[in-house]
Amino acid sequence: MEKLSRSRDADLTRRELVDPQRIRGRGAQSNAVGRFEKHTREGFADGWDIVEALPMFETVEHIERARTIITRNDSPDIGFDRSINAYRGCEHGCSYCFARPTHAYLGHSAGIEFERDIYVKTNAVEALRHELAAKTYRCRPIAMGTNTDPYQPAERKHKLTRQILEVLLETRHPVLITTKSALIVRDLDILSEMARMGLAAVTISVTSMDHKLSRKMEPRASSPARRLEAIRLLAEAGVPVSVNAAPMIPAINDMELERILDAAAAQGAIGAGMILVRLPNEVRDIFREWLLRHFPDRVRHVLALIRDTRGGRDNDPNFHSRMRGEGPYATLLRQRFEMARQRYKLDGKMRALRTDLFTPPKVESDQLSLF
């Protein structure tokens, strides 16, 4: 800590992290107010020396009525132009999640509240039907799992992802799914049927083969073993499945890159991807606090390596380089990935999903016909 106090990250030595007993199963170590809020809060000693027991941060669900459910983007470095997120916030609790800053738009903290306050778009299926039925709609693959995981714990209760898949199967609409949850195998009946028509592909994210490390990195996601089992079951059901070794964090899980690809290939994965850790906006501090809690002896080293890949900064927002990083470390990591991908035969290109089978759904008009 003495060396840390004299470093660029000296502010970490003054951080007050939440009592670990209150945040069991959570990734973030603090709950700073959202960046758009007018007021802030901080603890202070009132002189009574009485510490009252504070409650756990239990999950709170908020019902949301979405005006639209398909989100479009024109980013040149991702392979889709539209996505669906039936939930906002994510209980998986990954400290490095790049979606955390979006919770600030809801008046929440990007810290613990991002994984505690889950917004459920209960009218997602209704909204999807209306959007797909629009005369101006043009079919392109819809991505799920781009912002928050479609199979996070809330999905067990609400089944919104399954209902969305039912609509996509009915309309013969292609879908790309990314998840860290083994819950996806619940929907094998739908996914296998879609895959037979060339309408579905899945990517399972695996960050570590070490169960203890995985629990620290993503406390409420499925274990590595369950994710590998999901890859096997998807592959056996005929669903094209890839593995995403993401994010790779220097000096934390980067040494496992080859092992992850090897294990996924053995279970039937046919493709692989990799993304270097990103630290946009509030994620920077949330991730640094996570490091301080779990790897205090590596804080300076890990952050120095990350900054080496980002031109000396904590984050690089530029297209393309934001995903892969730059510099010697990033170059070596990409070389290792390419060699491993070829070695384990994960370099096969996925077949393009079909869009020619799409049939718009029938929806009831909001107005009665005049005739």
**Residue among 254, 232, 255 at smallest CA distance from 243:** 232
Angle subtended at Cα 177 by Cα 346 and Cα 362, rounded to the nearest 5 degrees = 140
Distances (CA, A) of 341 to 59, 258, 272: 39, 8, 7
d(CA 267, CA 264): 5
Q: ∠ CA 142-147-153 to the nearest 5 degrees?
A: 100
151: containing domain: 26-35+58-343
Q: What is the pLDDT of residue 16?
A: 84
pTM above 0.75, yes or no: yes
Q: In 271-327, which residue ranges form alpha helices assigned H by DSSP?
A: 283-294, 299-309, 321-324
User: Nearest Cα to 342, choosing from 257, 284, 272?
Assistant: 272
Per-residue pLDDT at 41: 65
Q: What is the CATH number of the domain that holds 170?
A: 3.20.20.70
| Cα(124)–Cα(170) distance, integer angstroms | 16
Q: What is the pLDDT of residues 107-138, one digit of tens each?
A: 999 999 999 999 999 999 999 999 999 999 99
162 occurs within a structural domain: yes
Whether residue 256 is contained in a domain is answered as yes
Q: Is residue 83 part of a domain?
A: yes
- Rounded Cα gap, residues 151 and 174, in angstroms: 18
Q: Kindly compute the dihedral angle of the four CA atoms of residues 156, 217, 215, 1, in this order, to the nearest 10 degrees.
A: -150
Total count of domains within the chain: 1
pLDDT digits (tens, 9 = 90+) for 151-175: 999 999 999 999 999 999 999 999 9
Strands (E), the chain: 60-64, 70-72, 82-84, 87-88, 117-121, 142-144, 175-179, 200-205, 241-248, 271-276
Does a structural domain hold residue 359?
Answer: no
The verdict on residue 13 lying in a domain is no
| Residue 222, in any domain of the structure | yes
In this structure, the chain runs to a length of 371
**Is the backbone of residue 320 left (phi > 0), alpha (psi -120 to 50) or beta?**
left
CA angle 205, 208, 214 (to 5 degrees): 95
Q: What is the mean pLDDT of residues 66-79?
A: 93
- Residue whose token pair is 């996509």: 168
**Residue 7: predicted pLDDT:** 87
Per-residue pLDDT of 29-52, as tens digits, reads 999 887 777 666 666 666 766 556
Give domain status of residue 51, yes or no. no
Residue 90 is assigned to a structural domain of this protein:
yes
Label residue 4 by pLDDT band (50, 70, 90): confident
Who contacts 247 (Cβ-Cβ below 8 Å, separation ≥6)? 96, 207, 275, 276, 277, 278
- Give the pLDDT of residue 369: 37
Q: What is the pLDDT of residues 215-229, one digit of tens each?
A: 999 999 999 999 999
Q: What is the pLDDT of residue 38?
A: 66
Nearest to 283 by CA among 98, 50, 42: 98
DSSP 180: S
Is residue 117 within 8 Å of 89, Cβ to Cβ? yes
Q: Which residues of 235-259 are buried (b: 16+ CB within 10 A; e: fewer)?
A: bebebbbbbbbbbbbbbbbbebbbb
pLDDT at 2 over 70: no
